[in-house]
Amino acid sequence: MLNDNHLSGSIPSEMGMLSSLVHLNLAANNLNGSIPIWLRQCENLLELNLSVNRLSGGIPSEVGSLSFLQILDLSQNFLIGKIPKAVGNLKSLEKLNLSHNKLFGFFPSTFDDMLSLTSVDVSDNQLEGPLPDNKAFREASFEAFRNNKGLCGNITGLEVCSSKLSSNVDRKKNSKIVIATVAPILFTLLLVFVVFWILSSSKRRERNTENTPRVVASDSLFEICNYDDKMYENIVEATEEFDSKYCIGVGGYGTVYRAELSDGQIVAVKKLHPLPEGGVGDQKAFNSEIRALTEIRHRNILKLYGFCSHPQHLILVYEFLEGGSLEKILRIDEQAMEFDWIKRVNVVKGMANAVAYMHHDCSPPMVHRDISSKNILLDSEYEAHVADFGAARLLKPDSSNWTSFKGTFGYTAPELAYTMQVNEKCDVFSFGVVTLETLMGRHPGDIISFLSSSVSSLTPSCSSSAPFNQLLLKALLDQRLPSPREQIAAEVVSVVKLASLCLHATPQSRPSMEQVSQELSTQNPPLVKQFHTITIGQLFDSSCYTSTLGEAVSHNNNRPTV
């Protein structure tokens, strides 16, 4: 077992010599490159787990030669392409996980014969068409297929396949027989035209070199974007030259547009703002965002699909989430009323997990620096995805100081008003603001300074005389929803407390996002006091309202206990 070991580079070819190897688990490392074809030499493998890495390219058909394989997990990588027909030859396979990649196309017909399969997950890809006629697929939940391009089948949450679609799939299978019959006849004619085409296209490329927008990519980044030279033209056409009617948001570094590409895929296109000085700053922001995003693989962080550069524009292409931004949902009453307390607490947990990942699981650690409700996007099931890494900077000795202040007003840490020293604690503060906004249904405004002051000079007392401390907690919450009850009420109290601790005036005294994430994942005991009677002053005195909810904030000059 070599999982969770911070391994990097490509999978060493020497492993192909281990013909007696039974279990190969390289999950949760930083491996890149493609899945090696020499894996077929490990013919006795029962388990192959390469999940949560940075592997790219397609799934090699050689995987299908591992006839004893029972578990195949390739999830959370950058794999692209169609699922090889050979995968269906794994007759002993019991568990298959291909989720969180960029696989597209239809399931091979060979999947119908995978009778040993009991568990499957292909969520978060670009797959389409009917599900295989297989027990594992028939009995799987919708979660195993969500966020794909157009899967259909008799699963609650998926569209029922039309007879036309089914017949189209059958015709595709039959067309292979026709192709095999006429191919030899056409082959000779094809050869005649190939030479002509190569010569003419070569001349055409020479004429168009100066006028063709270029796709900018290093080797690894090109594997991520996988777009051809018509990428820019496709985007311009889909957005009608970036018409404002396609605009879905404006961030600190760019404007975001909704674009439906020629293949039917809907993406979010972020056009970085130009700078009057000639664009040098934009190029730096573009490169910073690319570097940051290529290091990230997390379910609560928005996926980068592709990018391109043009003399007039720098463009990033993201996953499109139909739910829109947190800010938009809170602003529209109808949507806010459907955004109940359970969903809101789960959004806070998702945000915390994403930022904790950036701070504590990325190497070197990464600061977002522009966390706001506009940069938290929600999918159709209200799962949070942190977006807009235009201000992201890797924490290196020469990059912690900023000569110009960006970010979003109302969310930035107060210390940035007099110092450009950026670190994780700036994100912690912004997280606290967005968390309060999520529960209050509006930006907390002056309440930020009140809570910051209360936390920074904390002397818990159930009989505090300060007017703000006498304010009922329920009065701060979004009045468009009924008051939270029972267990969710205890969670709301815990979340407000944690958000307040994140607003501490002294950066060193704010909790780490790892602490916040861990605290949010713990089970909260029931409230001792009725929720509607709890005041802000009682929030940090656990004896006033709960038996064991957290610990009282302790001042050790540096960090509170959460």
Rounded to the nearest 5°, which phi and psi values hold at 362? -90, 145
Q: Where are the alpha helices (DSSP H) in 214-266?
A: 219-225, 231-238
What's residue 51's pLDDT? 93
Look at 59 and 167; give whichever has higher pLDDT. Answer: 59
Q: pLDDT band for 442, please (50, 70, 90 cuts).
A: very high
- Residue 366: the pLDDT is 83
Tokens representing residue 372 in the block: 């706001």
67 and 32 fall within a common domain: yes
Domain stops at, among 152, 178, 197: 152
Lowest-confidence pick of 204-208, 285-289, 476-480: 204-208
pLDDT at 322: 86
Question: Average pLDDT for residues 280-293, to the nearest whole number?
Answer: 58
Task: Residue 357: give its domain's CATH number.
Answer: 1.10.510.10
- Are both 406 and 342 inside the same structural domain? yes
Three-state SS for 92-136 is CCCEEECCCCEEEECCCHHHHHCCCCCEEECCCCEEEEECCCCHH
Question: What number is the average pLDDT over the span 261-286?
Answer: 68
Shared domain for 388 and 483, answered yes or no, is: yes
Q: Which of 462, 297, 286, 266 is nearest to 391 (CA)?
A: 286
Q: Give 72 or 311, the one with higher predicted confidence.
A: 72
Q: Where are the beta strands (DSSP E) in 273-342?
A: 304-309, 314-319
Same domain, 396 and 428: yes
Percent of the chain past pLDDT 90, that is, above it, reads 35
Q: What is the pTM of this model?
A: 0.58
Q: Record the tokens describing residue 177, joined without a space.
A: 């027989």
Mean pLDDT of 126-132: 92
The pLDDT confidence band at residue 415, using thresholds 50, 70 and 90, is confident
Residues 334 and 294 in one domain: no
Q: Which of 152, 180, 211 is the last residue of a domain?
A: 152
Q: What is the pLDDT of residue 406?
A: 57
The reply to whether 361 and 507 lie within a common domain is: yes
pLDDT at 332 over 60: yes
Are the beta carbons of 323 and 350 closer than 8 angstroms?
A: no
pLDDT band at residue 371 under the 50/70/90 scheme: very high
Position 190 confidence tier, pLDDT thresholds 50, 70, 90:
low
DSSP-assigned states of every residue in 44-71: T-SEEE--SS--EEPPPGGGGG-TT--E
Q: To the nearest 10°, the Cα dihedral for 152, 158, 159, 162?
A: 20
Q: Which two tokens stand for residue 216?
A: 């900018």
Residues 302 and 329 in one domain: no
Compute the mean pLDDT over every residue in the chain, rounded to the nearest whole number: 79
Is 396 labelled a binding residue?
A: no
**Distance between CA atoms of residues 352 and 348, nearest Å:** 6
Whether 315 and 328 share a structural domain: no
Give the model's pLDDT for residue 368.
87
pLDDT band at residue 345 using 50, 70 and 90 as cut-offs: very high
Of residues 345 and 12, which shows the higher confidence score? 345
pLDDT the model gives residue 396: 41
Residues 251, 351 share a domain: no
Question: 41-50, pLDDT tens digit by residue?
Answer: 898 899 999 9
Q: Give the percent of the chain with pLDDT over 70.
A: 72
Distance CA 494, CA 516 (A): 10
Confidence of residue 461 (pLDDT cuts 50, 70, 90): very low
User: Token pair 């060979």 is at which residue?
Assistant: 110
Residue 87 lies in a domain: yes
Residue 173 lies in a domain: no
510 and 361 within one domain = yes
Asked if the model's pLDDT at residue 168 lies above 80, the reply is: no
H or E element at residue 24: strand 23-25
pLDDT of residue 33: 87
pLDDT tens-place string over residues 470-521: 889 999 999 999 999 888 999 999 999 999 999 999 999 999 999 999 999 9
Which pLDDT band, with edges at 50, 70 and 90, does 382 fall under? very high
> Which of 3-12, 383-392, 487-496 has the weakest average pLDDT?
383-392
Chosen domain end from 135, 152, 169: 152
How far is 551 from 525, CA to CA, in rounded Å?
A: 13
Confidence of residue 224 (pLDDT cuts 50, 70, 90): very low
Residue 186 lies in a domain: no
- Region 525-533 average pLDDT: 87
Task: Please give the residue that has the higher pLDDT: either 232 or 496.
Answer: 496
Domain that holds residue 469: 324-457+465-539
Whole-number pLDDT of residue 418: 78
pLDDT category of residue 401 using cuts at 50, 70 and 90: low
Active-site residues, by number, are 370
**Domain count within the chain:** 3
In a domain, 135, yes or no: yes
Q: Are residues 288 and 342 in the same domain?
A: no
pLDDT value of position 59:
94
**234: in domain:** yes
Q: Is the confidence at residue 384, as pLDDT, over 90?
A: yes
Same domain, 332 and 445: yes
Residue whose tokens read 């008003």: 417
Whether 165 is in a domain gets the answer no
Buried b (16+ CB within 10 A) or exposed e, 98-116: bbbbbbbebbbebbeebee
Predicted local confidence at residue 226, as pLDDT: 40
The HSE-up count of residue 275 (CA atoms within 13 Å, CB side) is 12
